[in-house]
Chain A
């Protein structure tokens, strides 16, 4: 029997071999074919190696969705390195923390990114810095060795296909997520994890080379990451639309490009349904819609179905720790299983367990636990956090749920305090640590409060220090300096005390209701 693909690079190589002239990526009118993509991946991989990258070393990417992001990501894998896609919305201190944590030896970045200097100065281990073509460069070249532009970097590189000899269980990527404890949690994914999840998703979505998706999801999160890899593995086309700020332009692109697919989180669909009259556009080419990134209200699911009845809607559930995907609801069961997240994807086993780790019967609530080739080996350099979620051979997701008699999973909430806002997960502790830096704040607690589009927005409840006066705007401005925009509290509420249990734990649910 022939060996299966060991790496995502093998899947891309096959797409390039079968469909060299087909369009792989489109951005603002520029088109990259599979042949061109593959050639540049090989060149970039050889350039990384020529610059001294050794197998297992981390390469940080600070690049918005673009052909350069994709070329760099696959080149890192081809060279045996570990790709670390950084969240481009992050501010300097957040980037610096992740850069230092993964000890990257190379950084490939957009030159115009305002936080690039912070990312560079934090990387004491950096040996190569490459800036992608973009706006005017701000890289302080004088202080750095090995800094080069994308064009210089690729033009001197060999285009030979020379994959590194690393095993399927070697790390391939790190995705940083927000942990409830606020410390860096880099989900480490192996080549096997990425290939297994990609193939499972392909099996149920049935993607093919004639598919064309308009993509708005950032590739540095697991959902966008999986959309990228599955479509490239199928030889399909990805039309990159990097902003939802003007939602009807995204829908216009779907019509103009004759898109067959579109993927979103609940807030994506809420926004499109609220602001765009979908009936005014010819979206007859749409064959599939996928939704993940948090529970979507059944009413919104039904509105989406009514607005786009011809497209098959896949409701899905996943977690970065499981590469991306854990379950999907087959579209033909959407009506009778509405409100569930469906069944396990191929190759994945799910159990609902009680607090003692015992499997519970259908209908009984417990923690959702997962096993399969998609489950990460652990968090990067964080054995304590790893030990909390990987126990007894299971990934403990922290999500609470129950199966019905037919094996369909319903989620009933999380056992953690994470705030879900739009496509983002936000750790309350991370916000609290920043707010506490302000003089005049004695105590604070961040919670998520309901929002009609984003699901939740951040509220911070502040106990002012004795005899001090502090303005909400001061709190927000401080957060804006230190945190990505989506983490900045929309609401600042002043309270005399924080409600606590007898053991001193903050009763967050009470703070969600106050205000």
Chain B
């Protein structure tokens, strides 16, 4: 499974409580959807750190890196490069 699909599955299961991929587009903004609040974001980061072996620095916690499934996938790719 691609990183993007893994991230989407995690967001769906933990924030929308569903496995229906049609509920979350890969480029949809979490902020605009009101999907993930501040503590939710901490959970997402823990998930990324545990499952992708990356360390997310405080200064990397910005919407450019984390505000959609595709942005997270691209961020992981950059971190691993």
Contacts and interface: CB of A to CB of B under 8 A. Distances in A.
A, B from the same assembly: yes
Interface of A: 89, 112, 114, 135, 243-249, 267, 271, 275-277, 422, 451, 453-454, 473-474, 476-477, 480, 485-486, 488
11 contacts: A112-B32, A114-B34, A245-B30, A246-B61, A247-B58, A271-B38, A275-B58, A275-B61, A422-B39, A480-B16, A480-B17
A476 B17 contact: yes
- 4 tightest A-B contacts by CB? A477-B17, A244-B38, A476-B17, A473-B17
A100 B15 CA distance: 29
B41 interface: yes
Contact of A275 (B15, B32, B42, B66): B42
Contacts of A485: 15, 34-35, 37
Contacts of B42: 271, 275, 453
Contacts of A114: 34
B18 A477 contact: yes
B58 A244 contact: no
Interface of B: 13, 15-18, 30-32, 34-42, 58-59, 61-63, 66
A95 to B, nearest CB: 13
B17 A271 contact: no
B39 A246 contact: no
A140 to B, nearest CB: 21
Contacts of B39: 267, 271, 422, 451, 453-454
Contact of B61 (A248, A474, A477): A248
Given A271-B39, A275-B42, A485-B37, A248 B16 contact: no
B17 to A, nearest CB: 4
B41 to A, nearest CB: 5
Contacts of B30: 245
Contacts of B16: 477, 480
Given A474-B17, A485-B34, 15 more contacts: A89-B34, A135-B32, A245-B37, A246-B41, A247-B38, A247-B58, A247-B61, A248-B58, A275-B58, A276-B58, A277-B58, A453-B39, A453-B42, A473-B18, A476-B17
A388 B24 CA distance: 45
Report which residue of B35, B37, B39 has the largest number of chain A beta carbons within 10 angstroms of its beta carbon. Answer: B39
A143 B1 CA distance: 46
A404 to B, nearest CB: 34
B58 A486 contact: no
Contacts of B15: 485
B30 to A, nearest CB: 8
Contacts of A247: 38, 58, 61
A326 to B, nearest CB: 27
Nearest to B16: A480
Contacts of B41: 245-246
A486 B39 CA distance: 10
B11 to A, nearest CB: 13
Contacts of A112: 32
Contacts of A245: 30-31, 36-38, 40-41
Nearest to A474: B17
Contacts of B36: 245
A1 to B, nearest CB: 48
A79 B49 CA distance: 54
Contacts of B63: 246
A271 B39 CA distance: 8
A116 to B, nearest CB: 13
Contacts of A473: 13, 17-18
A420 to B, nearest CB: 14
A267 B30 CA distance: 21
Contacts of B17: 473-474, 476-477, 480, 488
B45 to A, nearest CB: 9
Report which residue of B61, B63, B66 has the largest number of chain A beta carbons within 10 angstroms of its beta carbon. Answer: B61
B31 A249 contact: no
B58 A243 contact: no
Nearest to B60: A248
Nearest to B61: A246
A275 B63 CA distance: 15
A454 B38 CA distance: 10
Nearest to A457: B39
A135 B29 CA distance: 13
B61 A244 contact: no
Contacts of B37: 244-245, 422, 485-486
A135 B33 CA distance: 12
A246 B63 CA distance: 8
A271 B41 CA distance: 11
Contacts of A243: 31, 38
Contacts of B61: 246-249, 275
A271 B58 CA distance: 12
A323 to B, nearest CB: 27
Nearest to A250: B38
A416 B43 CA distance: 30
